[in-house]
């Protein structure tokens, strides 16, 4: 990862504030690029379910930053859903997977109520190994 990571200050400049869902979008997108071996911007399609309202929808901005898939290019979509579920697809070879939040992560997010706690959690999540946060399944 190293220098290619989206920095938190960059993300805040784009999004306007620091929150856990923004960071989770960054982490999920970075993981997808790596796992699918796809190119940023044009090389993938992203479908996000269950993140239509704030603060969950902040996830979408993190995903746009890290994957380069954007509304302008039409390769990221926000759909209804009861739970957060993100489908990533490599546009060149159709390789896909689905990412869901682990129960432990969902619990931590639910327990975080104040603005200050949200910022702290965001910073902590940024340093956390993605595999401790997300469950990945192939989508066939």
Q: Name the residue nearer to Zn ion (CB basis): 46 or 58.
A: 58
Cα gap 28→130, rounded to integer Å = 7
In angstroms, the CA 77 to CA 92 distance is 18
Stretch that binds Zn ion, among 55-63, 65-73, 103-111, 125-133 (CB under 5 A): 55-63
Residue 65 touches Zn ion, criterion: CB under 5 A: no
- Looking at the Cβ atoms of 19 and 68, the one nearer to Zn ion is 19
Tell me, by CB under 5 A, how many residues bind Zn ion: 2
Contact between 32 and Zn ion by CB under 5 A: the answer reads: no
Asked if 58 is part of the footprint of Zn ion (rule: CB under 5 A), the reply reads: yes
Least spacing, CB of residue 119 vs Zn ion, in Å: 11
Question: Measured between alpha carbons, how far is 20 from 2 in angstroms, rounded to an integer?
Answer: 21
Element (H, E) at 58: helix 58-67
* Residues, the chain: 140
Within 13 Å and on the Cβ side, how many CA atoms surround 61? 21
Find the binding residues for Zn ion in span 1-20 (CB under 5 A): 19
1 burial via Cβ count (<10 Å: 0-12, 13-18, 19+)? exposed
Span of 54-62, 85-93, 95-103, 129-137 interacting with Zn ion by CB under 5 A: 54-62
Which residue of the chain is nearest Zn ion when measured via CB? 58
CB closer to Zn ion out of 12 and 106: 12
**Separation between Cα atoms, residue 15 and residue 42, nearest integer Å:** 21
Q: Catalog residues that contact Zn ion under the rule CB under 5 A.
A: 19, 58
């Amino acid at each position: 990862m190293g220098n290619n990571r989206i920095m938190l200050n960059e993300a805040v400049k784009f999004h306007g504030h620091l929150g856990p869902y923004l960071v989770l979008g960054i982490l999920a997108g970075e993981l997808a690029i790596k796992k699918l071996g796809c190119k940023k911007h044009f090389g993938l399609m992203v479908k996000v379910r269950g993140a239509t309202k704030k603060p969950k929808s902040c996830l979408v901005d993190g995903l746009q930053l890290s994957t380069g898939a954007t509304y302008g290019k039409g390769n990221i979509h926000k759909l209804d859903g009861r739970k957060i579920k993100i489908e990533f697809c490599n546009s060149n070879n159709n390789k896909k997977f689905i990412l869901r939040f682990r129960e432990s992560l969902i619990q931590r997010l639910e327990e975080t109520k104040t603005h200050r706690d949200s910022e702290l959690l965001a910073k902590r999540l940024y340093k956390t190994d993605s595999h401790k946060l997300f469950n990945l399944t192939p989508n066939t």
